[in-house]
Structures are given as structure tokens and as C-alpha cells.
Amino acid sequence: MKRICLFPGTFDPLTLGHVDIINRALPLFDKIVVGIGLNSSKAPMFTAEQRLEWIRDIYKDEERVEGAVYEGLTIDYCKKIGAHFILRGIRYVSDFEYEKTIADANRTLDRTIETIFLTGEPKYTSVASTIVRDILRNGGDASLFLPEVVFKSLPK
């Protein structure tokens, strides 16, 4: 059985913190699907197509990573793609408390899908998409938080 993992998120934008988690998870799985979840309660800064393009550009030479866009419950999308693992990145204790609640709910819905937590590298602890969006909205330099592919694609 292939070890397929879903790394769900909004990735609005995809940050160096996200890339760090994906890269460090690669030895653990046969395939990682970076799933851009569409959430009607959020108004993203970047289109799902743009976010998907970033994933594809960054991992164009890594066949074990693919991007996808999905709606609905993450657990249902896992079943659709045959993923038995959900990958989540943790920066702070507060992240763990929030993520554990979701992991517990997902385990209740399907005991065959396990959530795996990876802690972020300390240098990426302050990297959050919300903060990066604020920097971008206010004309600041977000290059220190973004992969080069993402930064170069932003309007100047």
C-alpha cells in the first residue's frame, strides 16, 4: 500500500514555512498531495489557480508532490485520493491545541486516517500566511517569508 498523505490548507500564499514542512515530510510518504481547501468563509488574496501554480512550479522536479484543489470535508477528500495520512505543521503550542481538536474529529469520522504533526523549523516560526498578506497589503517586503517562485510572481 502506498503511503499517501494530504497536506491541507489555504496556502494563501504558500510560504517558506509550508515548503519546509513539505520537504521534511517527503522521506515519510510515497506521495504528498498539497490540497488547497476552498472555504466559503474565507476571502483569499490569491486565486486557487495561482496557489496551485506555485505548488506545481516549486515541485516540478519532485514527482511525489502534487497540488490539488478541493471542497468539503478534508476527511472525505482523503478517502477520494486514497490518503491514509493528514499532514499538519505546528509552530506554537496554540497551533497544537487547535490542530488536535480537528485531528480528534477526523479520527472520529474515520479511524483509518491518521494525522501527523511536524513542528516547523524555528527560523520559520513567525512565518504565517496571515502576516505575509498584511505585509503585502501594506506594501512591505515579504521576500524573506516566501519561496522565490511565489515572490517573483507577485505584482510589483
Catalytic residues: 18, 42, 91, 129
The Cα-based distances of 80 to 27, 84, 138, 146 in angstroms read: 23, 11, 39, 30
Cell of 25: 515530510
Q: What is the pLDDT of residues 50-94, one digit of tens each?
A: 999 999 999 999 999 999 999 999 999 999 999 999 999 999 888
Q: What is the pLDDT of residues 85-141, one digit of tens each?
A: 999 999 988 889 999 999 999 999 999 999 999 999 989 888 889 999 999 999 999
Domain architecture of the chain: domains with CATH: 4-153 (3.40.50.620)
pTM check: above 0.85:
yes
